[in-house]
């Protein structure tokens, strides 16, 4: 039987410890600790799978504890979720800086807590599997020659990107080839997509932070990470290369070039989508006109059939009256013959005078040709772009 994940809950308030312990113990093994040093000491005998860490604790804060944890040989890879009453952007940034996976605001909603704990454990488990697979693949991979060549290849690739999904995938491949660890958020037309060079994807705290960076300084540096933000793109970058003189600026130049290309391509994608919406709007309008024209033609046919029926009824009535006479004179016979001929000519006139119907069908034909021409022009414009 698989052993349940072990969760360490760290809080200096006994009531909070009891609340979290009762909520978690039905699904996980739980160990409760009252301080950061107690957590670090615990690592010497047992390593938890996840840590729920209070921020505001006496002597050693949650941020300090997490920082020390990341320096511990056994604590580097253990995910941490901060549990705190602090919810300002600065507090989330500080949690991200010290390596937190997520951030839960007090008072704790137990449903949210359970969902985030489960998501974190799955994320960490999947990440370990993906890292192992990536390391095996990396040993056989051929590295790109020249970082500028990588950027030029990226520019060529994004010309074929038609949506945020393909563009985000191309961007993360480029950043990975530049040996940069990064998370990216793309925004366009009310849609937001998050991507990461990490095999397991973008963490919730990274997605939250990138969203909150919109409207702030275009470049923000903190510790070994740099945030780049513009109207439609935000990214958090950590340079995995050696921190030589100017290394951060050098990597930043590459990122700026890449993001400029992404920003321009998103603008083109938005323009293409706007053209598509305009064409579809015109098509709908013209189809409505076609529908109206077809209904009008149908009424014309119904009117013609009604007139024909009336003429035939009149002819039959008059014929019946004529046949009521026992013996027909020569004049009566001529009258009947002329009567039949006159009414048949009236019927033929109805069926041969279809100029109005022809006009309406010609109008429908022109509308259809117009729709086909606009769609073809739009396709050519998109292909040329």
Looking up residue 116, the CATH number of its domain turns out to be: 3.40.50.2300
Domain end, chosen from 138, 168, 199, is at 138
Greater confidence (223 vs 185) lies with 185
At 20, list the tokens. Answer: 């979290």
Paired residues of 188 in beta bridges:
191
Measured in degrees and rounded to the nearest 5, phi and psi for residue 271 equal: -65, -40
With H, G, I as helix, E, B as strand and everything else as coil, classify residue 56. Answer: coil
Q: What is the pLDDT of residues 144-160, one digit of tens each?
A: 456 777 888 888 888 88
Contact 207, 116 (CB under 8 A): no
The angle formed by the CA atoms of residues 80, 85 and 88, to the nearest 5 degrees, is 90
Measured in degrees and rounded to the nearest 5, phi and psi for residue 327 equal: -125, 130
Are 47 and 71 contained in the same domain? Answer: yes
Going by pLDDT thresholds of 50, 70 and 90, the confidence category of residue 245 is very low
Name the range with the highest mean pLDDT among 27-31, 149-153, 310-314, 316-320: 27-31
- pLDDT(119) > 90: yes
Greater confidence (97 vs 362) lies with 97
C-alpha to C-alpha distances, 352 to 58, 168, 189, 302, 307, nearest whole angstrom: 100, 64, 55, 15, 14
The predicted model gives 270-281 an average pLDDT of 82
Paired residues of 29 in beta bridges:
6
Are 268 and 283 contained in the same domain? Answer: no
Please give the residue range of the domain that contains residue 358.
Answer: 274-384
pTM for the full model? 0.53
Instruction: Count the Cβ atoms, other than its own, within 10 Å of residue 219.
Output: 12
Are 77 and 112 contained in the same domain? Answer: yes
Are 223 and 318 contained in the same domain? Answer: no
- Over the range 322-339, which residues count as b (16 or more CB within 10 Å of their CB) and which as e? eeeeeeeeeeeeeeeeee
pLDDT value at position 143?
Answer: 42
- pLDDT(66) > 80: yes
Are 170 and 114 contained in the same domain? Answer: no
Domain end, chosen from 84, 111, 138, is at 138
Are 231 and 296 contained in the same domain? Answer: no
- Report if residue 345 sits inside a domain: yes
Measured distance CA(290)–CA(294) in Å, rounded: 6
Contact 322, 335 (CB under 8 A): yes
- Report if residue 1 sits inside a domain: no
Q: What is the pLDDT of residues 70-94, one digit of tens each?
A: 888 777 888 999 998 888 888 888 8
Mean pLDDT across the chain: 80
At 336, list the tokens. Answer: 């009947």
Measured in degrees and rounded to the nearest 5, phi and psi for residue 138 equal: -65, -30
With tokens 């323009």, the residue in question is 271
Q: Which among 277, 174, 278, 145 is positioned nearest to 233, based on CA atoms?
A: 174
How many domains is the chain partitioned into structurally?
3
- pLDDT(142) > 80: no
The predicted model gives 217-234 an average pLDDT of 86
Helical packing angle, 247-323 and 164-177, nearest 10°: 160
Paired residues of 181 in beta bridges:
238
Are 72 and 131 contained in the same domain? Answer: yes
């Amino acid at each position: 039987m698989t052993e349940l994940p072990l969760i360490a809950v760290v809080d200096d308030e006994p009531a909070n410890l009891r609340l979290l312990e009762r909520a978690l113990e039905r699904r996980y093994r739980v160990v409760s600790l009252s301080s950061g040093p107690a957590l670090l000491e615990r690592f010497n005998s047992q390593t938890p799978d996840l840590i729920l860490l209070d921020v505001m604790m006496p002597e050693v804060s949650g941020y300090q504890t997490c920082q020390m944890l990341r320096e511990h040989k056994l604590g580097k890879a253990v995910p941490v979720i901060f549990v705190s009453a602090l919810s300002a952007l600065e507090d989330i940034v500080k949690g991200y800086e010290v390596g937190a996976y997520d951030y839960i605001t007090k008072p704790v909603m137990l449903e949210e807590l359970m969902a985030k704990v489960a998501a974190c454990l799955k994320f960490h488990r999947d990440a370990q599997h993906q890292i192992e697979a990536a390391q095996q693949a990396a040993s056989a991979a051929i590295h790109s020659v020249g970082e500028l060549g990588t950027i030029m290849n990226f520019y060529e690739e994004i010309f074929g990107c038609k949506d945020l999904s393909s563009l985000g995938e191309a961007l993360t491949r480029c950043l990975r080839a530049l040996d940069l660890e990064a998370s990216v958020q793309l925004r366009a037309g009310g849609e937001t997509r998050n991507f990461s060079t990490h095999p397991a994807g973008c963490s919730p705290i990274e997605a939250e932070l990138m969203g909150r960076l919109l409207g702030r300084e275009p470049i923000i540096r903190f510790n070994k990470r740099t945030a780049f933000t513009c109207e439609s793109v935000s990214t958090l970058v950590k340079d995995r290369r050696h921190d030589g003189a100017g290394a951060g600026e050098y990597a930043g130049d590459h990122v700026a070039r890449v993001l400029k290309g992404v920003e321009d391509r998103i603008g083109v994608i938005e323009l293409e989508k706007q053209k598509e919406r305009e064409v579809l709007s015109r098509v709908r309008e013209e189809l409505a006109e076609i529908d109206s024209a077809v209904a009008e033609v149908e009424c014309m046919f119904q009117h013609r059939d009604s007139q024909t029926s009336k003429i035939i009824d009149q002819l039959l009535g008059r014929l019946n009256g004529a046949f009521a006479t026992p013996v027909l004179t020569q004049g009566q016979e001529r009258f009947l013959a002329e009567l039949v001929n006159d009414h048949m000519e009236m019927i033929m006139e109805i069926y041969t005078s279809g100029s109005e119907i022809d006009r309406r069908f010609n109008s429908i034909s022109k509308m259809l040709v117009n729709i086909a021409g606009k769609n073809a022009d739009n396709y050519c414009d998109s292909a040329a772009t």
